[in-house]
Structure 1
């Protein structure tokens, strides 16, 4: 650290403040220090930093599955932001946590604190919206950042997009093409995004003087298989919908696959939209019309805000950050057949 300070022409204390992402360091000094760090290939000792500051410089991402392109994209953005700031992101798989008792959830997090001692945790759905998980984190005094729509107030940092408005825009796209009989595939019911996206769809339909037919609303699990099952159901109806709104891209891919099996052309005979703009949206054929969540930036923004607050206050205060979404027009939507 002394070598970095000498090369940058600053004090050791300034080097320490820059490396610890402390606020109120002039941008010019930050740039000098980081240039010196890069030139000298200086790597701070994680264990030494932890001992000095009583911090682990570890953020624990808590997820329910490893088989999610949504979580993987968020994770990538969070890892990059951690690396930029001298932190590490630990991935922690807690399967089935939502169905466990408060005692079992507490034991899971106590085990995490015993072995890793993270400075804070990052939560994605469904744990981001769990009252029991929220209760345990508050009880343990563990700071958190949540990603996605959450109805738990005053609980750390929340980073999201406007799911409601994005769903209205997707629905209006289908309505603008002339579709009136539109199917909807919901997501997992314990995730708030499932309800918000359906609410946006419903409002847009009602604004066009159309009612939502309960027979055209199907359950889903945010995975390919439930999308395929929903597609099979819709295609088996005597009066099919002409378009289907899926609450995420994986389910939209499943619906398109069902259409392919039944030789129903997409988009000529059936329009399909998804949500997220996950990798599958550009790997499937035809390419999927969807809403783009900046998933990597959601993870990166969450980490930046978390570290900024930890460095400034030593704890995390409530703050909601809404990032922009984008409607992405591709190849799975067209006007209905006459």
Structure 2
């Protein structure tokens, strides 16, 4: 009798969209796109969803669909090891955008996660959110992006220079911004430059170096290989690079660090060596995070509108989710050269 009652109860229960999503390994939003015949879903994902629909005998409930659409949508911002200033601005922008769009923002940290763990984390995340925002360096992880796209989850990358056909991105033009701030130093008379690179796993690092080098070539200025030092966008890597640049008998008159954390470290090393900034050495950074104004003198830098980029990323994500249009968008926001006290004409001689 108990078995009969259990069978009867199961028979009367309708399969839910969440059950289909779990079986197919995708988000409920992806199941909705497939059963409603929407485009911009990979064929392999569509086939997987339809197999789950058939296996479970799922029939869409229009009333339930309307109710689900009215409920709060969950989107995720996933980060790993950004600078504190960068993360703070990311959160401000993402919270502002999600509040305006009336969506729930899930913030997740994937620090010290290896590629295989990233793959599994992306699979799990895809089942619980309708869209994902990826700042660097995760936005350039082929593993993470591929898993989310395969699951049919819309993705917006922040500050990625990599051209992706499957995801949207919000960025500044790192090449133009870097060239502009280098031209500013050249206009003041600098001819001897040190450069601290960013992390090699981010395309922004390469683009900033390319812009710097292009400005030097335009002015007919050579670049000494020993004056280009590796960095990782961290304060500690900036200290190490600056020690090598300033520990030489023949040192540059200006240092361009690929972000503000490393530029602040360069100023610290200069002070420790008895150099006056900017009388003996000019230093510039990139991003205009809180690190730019927490040092003395305050940094001349490129303002990357990080909060506005995160806000815009939410807007792009929600337009795609609510209109069920996953056409990738490439949004370039304006940068600003911010002139402060860390730059002056080079010292005589």
| Both proteins in one fold, TM over 0.5 | yes
Q: Does 1:52 align with 2:85?
A: no
Q: Does 1:112 align with 2:128?
A: no
Matching of residues 80-119 of structure 1 within 5 Å: 80-97=96-113, 99-101=114-116, 104-114=117-127, 117-119=128-130
Q: Does 1:326 align with 2:315?
A: no
- TM-fit CA distance, 1:110: 2.5
The answer on whether the counterparts of 1:287 and 1:330 sit within 8 Å (CA) in structure 2 is: yes
- TM-fit CA distance, 1:51: 5.4
Q: Does 1:316 align with 2:326?
A: yes
Aligned twin of 2:14: none
Are residues 165 and 239 of structure 1, via their aligned partners in 2, closer, same or farther at CA, if it must alter by over 3 Å?
same
**1:76 aligns with one of 76, 92, 100:** 92
Structure 2 CA distance for aligned equivalents of residues 135 and 317 of structure 1: 16
CA RMSD of aligned residues (A): 1.8
Aligned twin of 1:188: 199
- TM-fit CA distance, 1:63: 0.5
Cα distance per residue 1:296-334 (max 9 Å; x no partner) = 10011111111122111x242211001110000000000
Larger Rg: 2
**Alignment length (residue pairs):** 285
Are residues 67 and 252 of structure 1, via their aligned partners in 2, closer, same or farther at CA, if it must alter by over 3 Å?
closer
Are residues 119 and 50 of structure 1, via their aligned partners in 2, closer, same or farther at CA, if it must alter by over 3 Å?
farther
SS at match of 1:210: coil
Are residues 119 and 247 of structure 1, via their aligned partners in 2, closer, same or farther at CA, if it must alter by over 3 Å?
same
Structure 2 CA distance for aligned equivalents of residues 299 and 72 of structure 1: 11
- TM-fit CA distance, 1:214: 0.9
- TM-score, normalised relative to structure 2: 0.78
- Runs of 4 or more off by more than 3 Å in structure 1? 48-51
Q: Which runs of 5+ in 2 are unaligned?
A: 1-63
**1:241 aligns with one of 224, 228, 252:** 252
- TM-fit CA distance, 1:133: 1.7
Structure 1 CA distance for aligned equivalents of residues 91 and 155 of structure 2: 15
SS at match of 1:60: strand
SS at match of 1:158: strand
- TM-fit CA distance, 1:56: 5.5
Aligned twin of 1:264: 275
Matching of residues 267-306 of structure 1 within 5 Å: 267-306=278-317
- TM-score, normalised relative to structure 1: 0.80
Cα distance per residue 1:187-215 (max 9 Å; x no partner) = 00001111000000011111111122110
Q: Does 1:136 align with 2:152?
A: no
